[in-house]
Amino acid sequence: MEEQDKLHDENQDEHHNEEKKQSRRKFLRDVGIIAGGAVAGGAAMYAGIHYEDSKPPSGERLKLLAQDGKLLEVDAHHVAEVHLPEGELLMKEGREGLPGHKWVMVVDLAKCRNARKCIDACQSAHHLRPEQYHINTLQMKESKKTAPYNMPKPCQHCDNPPCVSVCPVDATFKRGDGPVLIDNERCIGCRFCIAACPYSARVFQWFEPPMAEEDKDLTYNVELNVPQKKGTITKCLFSADRLREGKLPYCVSACPNGVYWFGDEMEDAVTNGTTKETVSFSELLKQNAGYQLMPELGTKPRVYYLPPKNRLFPFEDGIEEEHNG
Amino acid sequence: MKRIMSYTRFVLLISLIHYFTISLFSEEWTVPTDQSDKTAPFLFTAESVQKGADLFMKNCQSCHGNPGKANYANMDPSPGDPASEKFQKLTDGDMFYKITNGRGTMPQFKMILSEEDRWDLVSYIRSFHTGYIQPEPEVATMTSSGDRATMTLLYDSLAKMVTISVYTVKNDVKSPVKGAEVLFFIKRYFGNLPVGEGARTNEEGIISYPFPEGIVGDSIGQVALIAQLNESSGYGNAKKTIMVPLGVPTEWVSLTADRAMWNINFKAPVWLILSYSLTVLGVFITLIYIALQIRKIFLIGTDYDDEQSEKS
């Protein structure tokens, strides 16, 4: 009985050894393949570099502007155009922004008469439903005896954005030139950012977006949020796509009453969307007692307000009735 | 009872608002006399009417509709039809002033349309007035397209001055323009920022312009200075740009340069990265430790089994 057991053990041992040998063989074979591949790859790369170098320098020097704005000079034959697929390019540009700028907006409350042209322009540009607002004009009345006024309220594009802090998937992000954008392809619809934003600037797509059918073949543009996507966040983007073209945001250029000033803090200049007048940004704030919304929160908004003094228009809605009637 | 009260109050409020609206906008839009007497610097022609028509379609039609068709927008106050009598009884100067400065819902076109464009608009609006006779232009030398002066800009790096010379060229003879007003602007991303007062050319048609201090430039202090002839001086609107290295250099620091809670993972605060990585590392070390301990127990067990089987 015992002998039989021993025999069985030996058999097993042999079998084990066999397995070991086989795995060693397999290992050696794998290493061989990898090493061979590496050598072949290296040789190919070397040949490639050698080929590039052996090309006679064309003598033509090209001046190129690097992404950070530095001027570089390279020989023409080293230059190859980079072709990114449209979607990837839009995403890359959208994440990087426009170096050298810091966008600011100034809203003159004295001029607003609730024409809502800014809202219309915004909603048609971003393919939104009529009840979805990237920018909205609110009817304000601070207390019983103070005078009511209209207040356009876009995203404040904070320099210390609480909405971005809470995003678990890096879908919403702050850009080096100011705007806070949202990438609808990363957004998982958790709505943490809606809860975090003290300005209620964010909108959730509960339903199929109104232009889903028309937009389905469009390449997603992170600077425009088009096509919109159900189950994700959409928000004011400071019209990042227009800034790239050197144009004022949709809302700013649509205003018929000269409410909005928009410009670059780096140049200390803002331009009025209606009159196209350009003035000094710091002077405008200084002379009109410009202020920010809820600065005590430390969010550092990029949108400034001018107080509703010497209003151009009488307040045209029965705001008192709603509260006292 | 309370309901009735609130209803009367509501009616009162609405009528009050209505009263104020009417009183605000029924105010006459008076034009200063010197502006009212202003005349166009050129004679209206079919060409100027055509140019005016194109401009009207682009800038005015959305509110004022097509002149003569009374299809203006339904707004309060009403924009009105430019072909109507109310418009046509204005002087040319009145029209020009109102287009230039705007009021309330009527936007100002000072920065949007050039003076020539605005006069072209007046000529278009006048084309709907059959009995209209244009007052004699004060500056009769000009036509709509203009007898234009040329301008050259030169930057003197030693004196830190920009020299502007204005001249007209006729039959290859350069003649300097005296007393022409030149306006200065700084080129900005969305528009041109006016700086300082305009300056007038001297006898030789030259202005020595000392660049104003405290103008923000790019990273090396370069600023694009624009000099433009004031159209009202009657020599067209020549415009030239020159790069001047006299601005205050500004350094752009990306708003995402600093470490912050809201920045990308790579730029999170150091304490956050450290505490997170240490926590994750700690959990894994504990798991590995537990696995090793289990293995140890297993080995003790097999050793014990071997001993037992050897004994038996």
Determine which of A105-109, A205-209, B46-50, B293-297 has the lowest per-residue pLDDT on average.
Answer: B46-50
B265 touches chain A (CB under 8 A): yes
Cβ distance B188 to A276 less than 8 Å, yes or no, reads no
pLDDT attached to residue B12: 56
Indicate whether A76 pLDDT > 90: no
Indicate whether A239 pLDDT > 90: yes
Q: Which of A99, A174, A263 sits opposite B188 (nearest CB)?
A: A263
Helix or strand holding residue A106 (H, E)? strand A103-108
Q: Which of B17, B105, B264 sits opposite A256 (nearest CB)?
A: B105
Cβ distance A101 to B189 less than 8 Å, yes or no, reads yes
CA distance A316 to chain B (A): 7
CA dihedral (B14, B15, B16, B21) positive or negative = positive
The residue among A276, A302, A311 with the most chain B CBs within 10 A of its CB, best to mutate, is A276
Q: Which of B105, B190, B250 sits opposite A271 (nearest CB)?
A: B190
Indicate whether A13 pLDDT > 70: no
Closest alpha carbon within chain B to A99: B254
Indicate whether B145 pLDDT > 70: no
Total residue length of chain A: 325
d(CA A238, CA A250): 9
Q: Which residues, 6 or more positions from B82, have their beta carbon under 8 angstroms from its beta carbon? A: B60, B64, B67, B125, B128
Contacts of B218 in chain A (CB under 8 A): 100
A229 touches chain B (CB under 8 A): no
Report, as an integer, the average pLDDT of A163-168. Answer: 95
d(CA A152, CA A105): 12
d(CA B226, CA B215): 13
d(CA A246, CA A242): 6
Q: Model ipTM? A: 0.71
CA dihedral (A38, A44, A47, A51) positive or negative = negative
CA distance A47 to chain B (A): 36
**Exposure of B245 by Cβ count < 10 A (0-12 exposed, 13-18 middle, 19+ buried)?**
middle
Tell me the one-letter amino acid at A212: A
A258 touches chain B (CB under 8 A): yes
pLDDT attached to residue B22: 47
Tell me the one-letter amino acid at A192: F
Indicate whether A52 pLDDT > 70: no
Contacts of B61 in chain A (CB under 8 A): none
pLDDT attached to residue A84: 73
Of all residues in chain B, what percent carry a pLDDT higher than 90? 29
Cβ distance A277 to B192 less than 8 Å, yes or no, reads no
Neighbour tally for A154: CB within 10 Å: 25
d(CA A180, CA A191): 16
Q: Which DSSP state fits A221?
A: B
Q: Angle at Cα A148 formed by Cα A144 and Cα A152, nearest 5°? A: 135
Q: What tens digit of pLDDT does each residue of B12-52 get?
A: 555 555 555 444 444 678 888 888 888 888 888 888 899 89
CA distance A213 to chain B (A): 30
Of all residues in chain A, what percent carry a pLDDT higher than 70? 84
Q: Angle at Cα B42 formed by Cα B40 and Cα B46, nearest 5°? A: 110
Task: Look at residue B187 and give its three-state secondary structure.
Answer: strand
B102 falls in which pLDDT band (50, 70, 90)? confident
A42 touches chain B (CB under 8 A): no
Q: What tens digit of pLDDT does each residue of A225-238 get?
A: 999 999 999 999 99
Closest alpha carbon within chain A to B261: A165
CA distance B219 to chain A (A): 9
CA distance B13 to chain A (A): 8
Indicate whether B146 pLDDT > 60: no
Indicate whether A268 pLDDT > 80: yes
Contacts of A315 in chain B (CB under 8 A): 17
Q: What tens digit of pLDDT does each residue of A177-211 get?
A: 999 999 999 999 999 999 999 999 999 999 999 99
Contacts of A280 in chain B (CB under 8 A): 193
Read off φ and ψ for residue B148, nearest 5 degrees.
-90, 145
A64 touches chain B (CB under 8 A): no
Cβ distance B262 to A263 less than 8 Å, yes or no, reads no
CA distance B261 to chain A (A): 5
B116 falls in which pLDDT band (50, 70, 90)? confident
Closest CA to B255 of A138, A26, A237, A173: A173
Closest alpha carbon within chain A to B214: A268
Q: Which DSSP state fits B134?
A: P
Q: How much is the mean pLDDT over chain B?
A: 84
A313 touches chain B (CB under 8 A): yes
Indicate whether B3 pLDDT > 50: yes
CA distance A58 to chain B (A): 32
Please report the number of interchain residue pairs, chain A to chain B, with beta-carbon separation below 8 angstroms: 112
CA distance B168 to chain A (A): 30
pLDDT attached to residue A320: 46
CB distance B77 to B25 below 8 Å: yes
Closest alpha carbon within chain B to A280: B193
B271 falls in which pLDDT band (50, 70, 90)? very high
B188 touches chain A (CB under 8 A): yes
Cβ distance A277 to B265 less than 8 Å, yes or no, reads no
The residue among B7, B101, B189 with the most chain A CBs within 10 A of its CB, best to mutate, is B189
Q: Which of B107, B189, B252 sits opposite A99 (nearest CB)?
A: B252
Cβ distance A176 to B256 less than 8 Å, yes or no, reads yes
CB distance A87 to A219 below 8 Å: yes
Report, as an integer, the average pLDDT of B125-149. Answer: 71
Cβ distance B265 to A178 less than 8 Å, yes or no, reads no
d(CA A213, CA A98): 32
**Helical segments of chain B, H only:** 2-25, 33-36, 46-59, 61-64, 85-88, 92-101, 115-126, 270-311
Phi-psi region at B95: left, alpha or beta (left = phi > 0; alpha = psi -120 to 50): alpha
Read off φ and ψ for residue B70, nearest 5 degrees.
50, 35
Cβ distance B219 to A267 less than 8 Å, yes or no, reads no
CB distance A263 to A246 below 8 Å: no
Closest alpha carbon within chain B to A282: B216
**Exposure of B141 by Cβ count < 10 A (0-12 exposed, 13-18 middle, 19+ buried)?**
exposed
pLDDT attached to residue A159: 96
pLDDT attached to residue B105: 73
Closest alpha carbon within chain A to B22: A314
d(CA B187, CA B247): 12
Indicate whether A34 pLDDT > 60: yes
Q: Which of A161, A270, A274 sits opposite B107 (nearest CB)?
A: A274
Closest alpha carbon within chain A to B248: A267
